């Protein structure tokens, strides 16, 4: 697990950068654009890159053969470029240069995000991947919390300081990964995987299990993304909360997720990923269904804490699950598929739920989120994939059986 904590620095830097980007770039855009809708659209650039570039990069990394490994070349190119354009954002001279630096930063980060994620299953045995995913998500969550805390202090001193700090963290993380993660040494079966140049395609990955799992991922992200994006408006307009009380309430959900990230990975490893995901989806369905009936701020925050625990059960186990249902040679491709459907949900959910709120009022938000979880629950229940048999198959493959 030592390698997992070291790999976590990659996720730590990504989380810090995205948190600072989402927190402070809208302030820069506000100086040039009066439409909040347009600012929101520009801020979703990363989701469009994730939709098209990350699946291709993930699949491409499966076929890459260099002396540095399969994934590391993308990190060695993408991370310095990402750090450079992140640092340049606050030094824009107008709207054109601001948009240019934003696009270039998103392009650079798209180069290494999927390969960084794919490194975890590469260097981790299948039976340990849920625990490893819990660790790296924990480090990512700590990075986000640190970004909001320290980032606001740095921003008050000078708007450029948070972005320069994020760039430095990215470069330091790259050096740590270069120094301690060696794919040819750390990835089980790396030599065998590089010798057998199997042609991997997206179409070839879409078996029954994968289709139902991708559908489940899409629907639970539709529910989650909609609630995350529109919750503060719901709290203000439906429950009568102040803007600060509504936004602060959402931190209870995020903090519970971060604290339960490692335990949920352990539970998935011990009792099976599908079982823990089913518990998480069922629990979050109940939480979302109950929220419209809650009038107390205290009870709302208690429900959000419980919801964060269930979300950890889902999110920590879902990526290792989709990787485990394919071959070791298709890890990057399946990572790309994971980001494809989650990005589709992130792009489609907020405007769709926003339209429904315009028609039916804010109370519809959590009913729709609960409905999405119910559809996701059906999709997961339709998956027929005995994990124990998959572990045996992977073990036999690694032994050359």
Q: For the segment 167-223, what is each residue's pLDDT rounded down to a tens digit?
A: 999 999 999 988 888 776 666 555 444 444 555 555 556 778 889 999 999 999 999
Residues 241 and 133 in one domain: no
pLDDT category at 400 given cuts 50, 70, 90 is very low
pTM given for the model: 0.77
Q: Which of 175, 197, 219 is the last residue of a domain?
A: 197
Residues 234 and 161 in one domain: no
Residues 177 and 245 in one domain: no
Residues 6+ apart with CB under 8 A from 221: 341, 342, 345, 346, 349
Residues 247 and 227 in one domain: yes
CA 320, 324, 329, 333 torsion-angle sign: negative
Residues 217 and 320 in one domain: yes
Give per-residue pLDDT as tens, 344-355.
Answer: 888 888 888 888
Please tell me which residue, 181 or 73, carries the higher pLDDT value: 73
- What is the structure's pLDDT at 187? 63
Residues 358 and 321 in one domain: yes
Residues 234 and 352 in one domain: yes
Task: Output the six-digit token pair for 292.
Answer: 């419209």
- What is the structure's pLDDT at 350? 82
Average pLDDT over residues 276-299: 94
Residues 63 and 181 in one domain: yes
Q: What is the CATH number of the domain that holds 128?
A: 1.20.1250.20
- What is the structure's pLDDT at 306? 96
Residues 273 and 339 in one domain: yes
- What is the structure's pLDDT at 200? 52
- What is the structure's pLDDT at 209? 86
Q: What is the mean pLDDT of the chain?
A: 84
Q: Which of 179, 197, 215 is the last residue of a domain?
A: 197
Give per-residue pLDDT as tens, 40-63.
Answer: 778 777 777 777 787 788 778 878
Lowest-pLDDT choice from 112-121, 157-166, 307-316:
112-121
Residues 132 and 209 in one domain: no
- What is the structure's pLDDT at 129? 83
- What is the structure's pLDDT at 192? 45
Count of domains for the chain: 2
Residues 122 and 217 in one domain: no
Q: What angle do CA 192, 195, 199 make, to 5 degrees?
A: 105
Residue ranges making up the domain that contains 384: 203-398
């Amino acid at each position: 697990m030592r390698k997992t904590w070291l790999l976590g620095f990659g996720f730590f830097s990504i989380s810090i950068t995205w948190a600072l980007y989402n927190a402070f770039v809208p302030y820069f855009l506000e100086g040039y654009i009066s439409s909040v809708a347009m600012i929101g659209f520009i801020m979703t650039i990363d989701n469009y890159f994730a939709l098209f570039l990350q699946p291709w990069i993930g699949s491409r990394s499966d076929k890459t053969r260099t002396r540095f490994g399969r994934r590391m070349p993308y990190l060695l190119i993408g991370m310095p470029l990402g750090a450079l354009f992140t640092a340049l954002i606050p030094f824009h001279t107008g709207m054109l240069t601001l948009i240019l630096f934003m696009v270039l930063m998103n392009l650079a980060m798209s180069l290494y995000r999927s390969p960084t994620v794919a490194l975890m299953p590469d260097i981790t045995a299948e039976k340990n991947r849920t625990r490893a995913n819990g660790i790296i998500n924990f480090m990512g969550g700590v990075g986000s919390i640190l970004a909001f805390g320290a980032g606001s202090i740095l921003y008050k001193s000078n708007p450029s300081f948070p972005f320069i700090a994020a760039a430095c963290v990215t470069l330091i993380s790259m050096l740590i990964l270069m120094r301690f993660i060696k794919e040819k040494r750390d990835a089980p079966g790396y030599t065998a995987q590089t010798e057998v140049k199997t042609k991997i395609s997206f179409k070839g990955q879409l078996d029954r299990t994968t289709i139902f799992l991708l559908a489940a991922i899409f629907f639970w992200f539709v529910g989650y993304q909609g609630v995350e994006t529109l919750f503060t408006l719901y709290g203000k307009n439906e429950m009568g909360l102040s803007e600060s009380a509504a936004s602060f309430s959402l931190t209870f959900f995020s903090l519970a997720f971060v604290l339960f990230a490692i335990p949920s990975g352990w539970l998935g490893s011990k009792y099976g990923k599908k079982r823990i995901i089913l518990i998480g989806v069922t629990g979050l369905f109940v939480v979302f269904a109950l929220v419209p009936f809650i009038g107390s701020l205290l009870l709302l925050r208690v429900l959000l804490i419980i919801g964060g625990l269930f979300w950890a059960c889902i999110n920590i186990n879902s990526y290792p699950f989709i990787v485990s249902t394919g071959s070791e040679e298709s890890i990057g491709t399946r990572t790309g598929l994971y980001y494809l459907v989650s990005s589709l949900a992130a792009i489609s959910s907020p405007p769709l739920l926003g339209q429904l709120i315009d028609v039916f009022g804010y109370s519809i938000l959590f009913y729709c989120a609960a409905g999405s979880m119910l559809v996701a629950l059906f999709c997961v229940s339709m998956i027929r994939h005995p994990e124990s048999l998959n572990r045996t198959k992977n073990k036999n493959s690694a032994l050359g059986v």
